[in-house]
Amino acid sequence: MRRHEKLLTIGITAAATAALTVFIRNFISGEKKITHRIAQRYGISDPQFERAMSQLLGPPILSGNRVTPLHNGNEIFPAMLAAIAEAERSITFETFIYWSGEIADRFADALAVKARAGVKVHVLVDGVGCNCVNGDALRRMADAGVELEVYHIANFARTNERTHRKLLVIDGRLGFTGGVGIADNWDGNADSPEHWRDTQYRVEGPVVAQMQAAFLDNWMKTRAVVLHGEDYFPRLEDAGELRCQMFKSSPMEGSESARLMYLLSIAAAEKSIQVGNAYFLPDDLTTETLLEAVKRGVKVEVLLPGRQIDSQAVRLASRHRIGRLLKGGVRVFEYEPTMYHCKCMMIDGLWTSVGSANFDNRSFRINDEANLNVIDAEFTAEESRIFAKDLERAREFTYEDWQDRSVCEKLLGGSAALLRSQL
């Protein structure tokens, strides 16, 4: 069989698998998702936008916070490990990726030291995202007294639902969130294909209590224990000037909070939308909402991974999905030096959302996610500056490029897009 025939067979098989998946999921699920376009009734600067975000996403937007961006492993891991070393009462830590290697060992040792010193340490890792469930790193933590849980490792009915949240909270006072996993891939300074580009955020102020609550959401589902009191929820004084909100999204609650946040934010845009995301597969409604923004005169830029990506199937699916966006005026760029793993959105120079949520169906409807929203002009300006700096290391992918894809890429991209939208 010739190579192109093999590729075609693979594509057809993937499409058949996806069709079966669609049937099964639609048969067993009676939940509906938002299907009607969200009309623009106010802008980001309108107080009504802030009220909508506070009421529809759950936790209110709180003032008095400080958020410090940390770029790439050289800045991120030392800051997180230093915070762990300074913990006095409690550490709560939830992550999707925990891969064997030097970074995993450094975190395991740091957490074990604090547990032996009497600090209450609680760690939740995902059953699929962690490749060392039976490994030495987790065993050392457990032997030292760390309370360790693995999310949905034995729950077959929910095996497709993952915790994708990245949360570290120290003494209930200091938090970290973003897109970073605990693995050697994130080490370094995005200076080679082996060292990924990502950002984590160090958070202080009243919003840290919302981060703690997001962790406890899944801790209670796994450990079935409520953590409360001064060790976990101390009185938090103002630490800065930022207004922030940490919201969570989970299919177990029938919630589409991550998708709703993106839709409401895009619908409110009046000037600019900047999206940086590792896995960008917008559904039809999100695509329409972005195109409506362009028609209003909004400048929309999207930054994605290029050839350096951990899943070529995702890249094929993403390229397949963005044709209408490109034709409608959305500009798309592919980051070239290494895997681009950031998850950020900046709108109108005022609104920023960062955290764990990708721009795809897994994050919108299947995964447990948690994002930090910040409404502040200075903070958003800095995030936009970093976004522009990353664009300098990216290549624009145009509508003409999209049309010129090979026949095989088009076939495989369509199959991958259909499969990825359901899994």
Distance of CA 171 to the CA centre of its chain: 24
Q: Helix, strand or coil for residue 313? A: helix
* Amino acid at residue number 24: I
pLDDT of residue 35: 78
Distance of CA 128 to the CA centre of its chain: 16
Neighbours of 36 (CB within 10 A): 6
The list of the chain residues with pLDDT below 70 reads 1-32, 133-134, 153-160, 253-255, 415-423
Angle at 261 between CA 25 and CA 346, to 5 degrees: 130
Hey, what's the torsion of the CAs at 364, 367, 372, 378, to 10 degrees? -50
Q: pLDDT tens-digit profile of 25-56? A: 433 444 667 778 888 999 999 999 999 999 99
- Distance separating alpha carbons of residues 288 and 275, to the nearest angstrom: 16
Give 142-185 as a DSSP string.
Answer: HHHT-EEEEETSS-GGGTT--B---EEEETTTEEEEES--BSGG
Pairing of strands 351-355, 369-375: antiparallel
Q: Do domains 3-57+250-420 and 62-240 have the same CATH topology?
A: yes
pTM for the model stands at 0.90
What's the CATH code, domain 3-57+250-420?
3.30.870.10
Give 202-252 as a DSSP string.
Answer: EEESTTHHHHHHHHHHHHHHHT-----STTTS------SSEEEEEEEE-GG
- Domain positions in the chain: 3-57+250-420, 62-240
Q: Mind telling me the catalytic residues?
A: 164, 166, 171, 341, 343, 348
pLDDT of residue 32: 67
pLDDT of residue 250: 85
pLDDT of residue 34: 78
Q: pLDDT tens-digit profile of 241-266? A: 999 999 998 877 656 788 999 999 99
pLDDT of residue 413: 75
Is residue 137 within a helix (H) or strand (E), and if so which, with residue range? helix 136-144
Question: Is the CATH code 3.40.980.10 the one for domain 62-240?
Answer: no
